[in-house]
Amino acid sequence: MARRGNSIIKGLDINDIITRLNKAYADEWLAYYQYFIEAKVVKGIMKDAAIAELDQHAADELRHANMVADRILQLGGTPLLNPKDWFTHTNCGYEEPKDFDVVSILEDSIKGEQCAISIYSELADFTRNKDIVTYDIVSQILADEVEHEEDLQALHDDITDFITDIKKKTN
């Protein structure tokens, strides 16, 4: 890796950056699939609003996987080649939907976003002033993950408020 693009990285082991990015890469694929399948199986009140949000987030996670894979390749690494490796490298794991109710699906996804926010925040701290290009990419992804958490939490709160209102009216 004698490229000029990699010579500007200061004080970090490139293999260490690649290892961390591959862990984030595994997270993104698992997050993508989690949203994909949640949008298919979700049931209950206001589920159409939830499906729109879950589908949009699935597309974002796949875009993140692309961004991370491209950066791993630029650094001279190889993105994980086998989906089996996603489970051994992931930071945030995979929350299999067990209860398909919209509120529980949203709660599973919020947990995932909170983990993603912690991981990208750590990656930003790790690369700040040392690997500017990776820093820029992880900062963009971090901003998306913060937006994801907010969108899901707002929808979750709207739905639970609505359910509370209905219960009050029927009592």
> Residues with Cβ < 8 Å from 48, sequence gap 6 or more?
none
What's the closest the beta carbon of residue 162 comes to Fe ion, in angstroms? 24
21 vs 58 by CB, closer to Mg ion: 58
**Contact status: 151 vs Mg ion (CB under 5 A):** yes
- Alpha-carbon span 167 to 125, nearest angstrom: 46
What's the closest the beta carbon of residue 160 comes to Mg ion, in angstroms? 18
Q: How many residues make up the chain in this entry? A: 171
Q: Which of residues 42-71 bind Fe ion (CB under 5 A)?
A: 61, 64
Q: Which of residues 41-80 bind Mg ion (CB under 5 A)?
A: 56
Q: Specify the residue for token string 């875009």.
A: 63
* Phi and psi torsions of 168, nearest 5°: -60, -45
* Phi and psi torsions of 11, nearest 5°: 70, 20
CA 103-108-111 angle, 5° bins: 125
Site string for Fe ion, 81-120 (x = CB under 5 A): ----------------------------------------
What's the closest the beta carbon of residue 59 comes to Fe ion, in angstroms? 11
The site for Mg ion (CB under 5 A) is made up of 56, 151
